[in-house]
Amino acid sequence: MCGSLPAGSLPDRLGPALAAGIAGRVLASSGTGRAAQVALSPPVLAEVVRARLDPLRVAALAAQGAAALVADGDADAAALLRAARLGLLAGDRNPPVDPVRAAALAITLGMVTLAEELAREALRRGPDDDAARQLLAVTLSWRGDGSGAEELFAVSATVAGQAPGGDLAVMTAAARAANLCWSCDDPAEARRVLAAAEAAGPGVEAMARLCAARSAIGSFEGHLPAARADATWALAHSADPFTQLWAASGAALARALTGGAGCADEVRGQVGTGLAAAADCAAGLQPWQLGLAGVLALVPEGRFDEADSLLDGLQSYALHEPVSEGLDALLRAVIWYGRGRLAEARLRAVAAWGALRARTPIGWQAMAAGFAALVHAGCGDLRLATELIGWLDAHPVRCLAAFEPMVLRIRAHVEYASGHLSAARRLAEQAVSRARKGGFGLWEQGAVVDAARFGVPVDPRRLQALGTGGGLARAQEAAVVAMAARCGDDLLVAAQALEMADATLLAADVTGRALAIFRAQHDLAGQHRALLQLEGMRRRWQFPAGCPYLPAGGGGLLTSREQDVARYVSGGASNRTIADALGVSVRTVEGHVYRACQKLGLTDRQALAAFMNPRYQDGRPAPDGLGRLA
C-alpha cells in the first residue's frame, strides 16, 4: 500500500548497494558483489538500531555499502561516500548532499521517518522541487496522513500536467490514486484519477504504471479478474522495476483471494517476481503487500514454515522502522493463529495494533484491529475483542471491500466467544454468501468451515470444490463431513489429521465437538476417547484457559487430584476409603467427585465410574479398568 516515486529519482545500482551494506548481505543484483566486504559488524549494526533516525549516522553507515561500488568508478557512490565522511547531511558545506536523493535512498531501506525528514529538508531548500514534494507525499501517505499527502499530490499533478509529453502526469496520477485509495479511503476518487490519466493517452510505460496501480487497488476492492488482467498487461509491457513490483503485488493478492488448487504456488511465483523487482527500486513498504498475499495463500494450505520464511526474506527491505515491524507482527500473528498457538498470536497481534494504529493507511489499521479482535476472542478476552470490533464499527473501510467476508467471519467468532450462537451462525452464513458472490474462494473456504463449526448446515461438496488438495484442506473437508453426519468417531480422526497439519486450535475444537456428540449419544466409551485426545492436545499446545473452542471447565479435563479420586471411584472404593488413602477429609473427596462429574458432563458417582472404566457394569468394576485421563 504505497505510492510511487518520480521516475529516475534513484540510481539503478546505488540503492541496492546501500541496502546490502546496511542489511549486511549481498543482494542478487548488478554491482553489489563487493558489498560483502563492507558488511556491517554487530557493534556498528547495534548503533544503527539505537540511533536509526539520525541522518548523519545512517548516511555514514550507508556509505560503507556504497564503498563496494567506488572501486568500479561509480560517481554517485563516491559522492555519497565523501558526503557521509564530511557529515554534510546536516549542513550546507561544499559539496552539498542532495536531500532528494538521500530521501529516495531512505525509502529504499523502508525508513519512512527518515525519508520524511529528508524530503522536508529538500523542500526547505527548494520549495518548488516537485521530486521532493512527491517524496514527502509518499511518506505522509505511508504514515496515514492521507489528506496531507493529497494536498501535495494535487500540486504535483498541476506541475506534471504542464510538462511536455504527459507521462509525468500519469506517474503522478498513479501515486495519487494509491494515496486516495488506502490513506484517504476513497477508492472511487482513486479510480476517477486513474481514468482521467488514461484518457490523456499515455505511452506504453506510463500506461503500464496505470495498470499496475489499478491492479493493486482493484485487488483490495475485490475486482479480482480485472486486477489480474491489469497486472498481466503491466508485467508484459513494463521494464520499470517499481511498476513490476506494483503489478506483481496486485496479481499476487488477487490470486490469493481467489483461492483454489495451485493458489499458493502461483502466489509464491508472483511474490518472487515482485521481490526481484524490489531489489532495484525504491520499494518502501510495498513488499509487505507481497507478504500479505503470500501469507494469505500459504496459511490455508498449512504451509506455515514457508510463510515464516517469506516474512524473513522481507526483513532486508526495512531497518527497524516501527511501521515495518508492525506489519511483520501482523502477518506473523496470522501464521501463529493458523497454527493454533494463541499465546504467540496474541503477543504479535497486540504489537501490530500498537505499531499500526493511527500511523499507517487506514486499511492496515483495520486489518490489525480485526485480527487482534479475532485472537483476543480466541483467548477468551472478550472485553478487548469487543473494543476492537467497536473500533471497526467506528471506522468503516471502503478500500477493503475484498476483505468484507473476513470481517464477517471475525465478528462471528467474537459473537460465538461471547455465547451468542444465533448471531454467530447468522454472520457465518453472511460470510459464506458474500464470499461466494464476490468470487473470494479463500474467504469462502474458511467461512464454510466456520459455519459448520457453529452448527449451520453446509454442503461438504462445496468445500471440496474450493479446496486446494493439501493435507489441511482434506482434513477440513473430513471434519465438515463428519459434523454434518454427527459422527464422533470420524471427527476424532479428522482432528488427528488437523493436528498433523499443524492446525492445532481447529483440531482441538473438532475434538471438543466429537465429545459433545458422544455426550448427546450417552456414549461413555466415545467420551473417554475424546477426552483422552483432548487432554493430549492441551498438554502439547497449552491453549488458554478461557478459549471458547474447548469444552467448559478448563477443557472438560480433570486436575491430577480429581483424576486420583475418579480412579478410586472406578475401582469401587467408598468416599471414606478414598479419604484415608489420600489423607484428606471425606468432604474434600465429595467435592472432587462433584467437580469431576461437572467437568465431564456426568450426573452421578456411578456415571463417573462408568466413564473412567467403560467396562464398569451395574456398580461392579472390571478388574482391568482404564481409569486414567493422562
What pLDDT does 53 receive? Answer: 32
Cell of 20: 546490502
Where is average pLDDT lowest: 38-42, 111-115, 254-258? 38-42
Residue bearing the bigger pLDDT, 209 or 115: 209
* Secondary structure, 3-state, 399-413: CCHHHHHHHHHHHHH
Ranked by mean pLDDT, the top range of 4-18, 76-90, 376-390 is 376-390
Q: pLDDT tens digit string along 162-186? A: 766 667 888 889 999 999 999 999 9
**Rounded average pLDDT over 402-421:** 95
CA distance 464 to 373: 29
Are the beta carbons of 368 and 330 closer than 8 angstroms?
Answer: yes
What pLDDT does 316 receive? Answer: 63
Are the beta carbons of 557 and 538 closer than 8 angstroms?
Answer: yes
What pLDDT does 109 receive? Answer: 54
Q: Which residues contact 35 (CB under 8 A, 6 or more apart)?
A: 17, 20, 21, 25, 26, 27, 65, 68
Phi, psi of 620 (to 5 degrees): -110, 120
Q: pLDDT tens digit string along 514-525? A: 998 998 898 878
User: Given pLDDT bands bounded at 50, 70 and 90, which one contains residue 75?
Assistant: low
pLDDT at position 79 over 90 = no
Ranked by mean pLDDT, the top range of 202-211, 535-544, 554-563 is 202-211
What pLDDT does 114 receive? Answer: 67
CA distance 240 to 238: 6
User: Given pLDDT bands bounded at 50, 70 and 90, which one contains residue 465?
Assistant: confident
pLDDT at position 41 over 60 = no
What pLDDT does 50 receive? Answer: 43
pLDDT at position 142 over 70 = yes
SS3 content of the chain, % helix, strand, coil (to 5): 75, 0, 25
Cell of 268: 509464491
pLDDT at position 503 over 80 = yes
Q: Does the model's pTM come out above 0.85? A: no
Quick count: other Cβ atoms within 10 Å of Cβ 163?
12
Are the beta carbons of 619 and 606 closer than 8 angstroms?
Answer: yes
Residue bearing the bigger pLDDT, 26 or 616: 616
User: Given pLDDT bands bounded at 50, 70 and 90, which one contains residue 404?
Assistant: very high
Domains of the chain: 1-143 (no CATH), 560-612 (1.10.10.10)
Q: Which residues contact 621 (CB under 8 A, 6 or more apart)?
A: 570, 571, 572, 609, 613
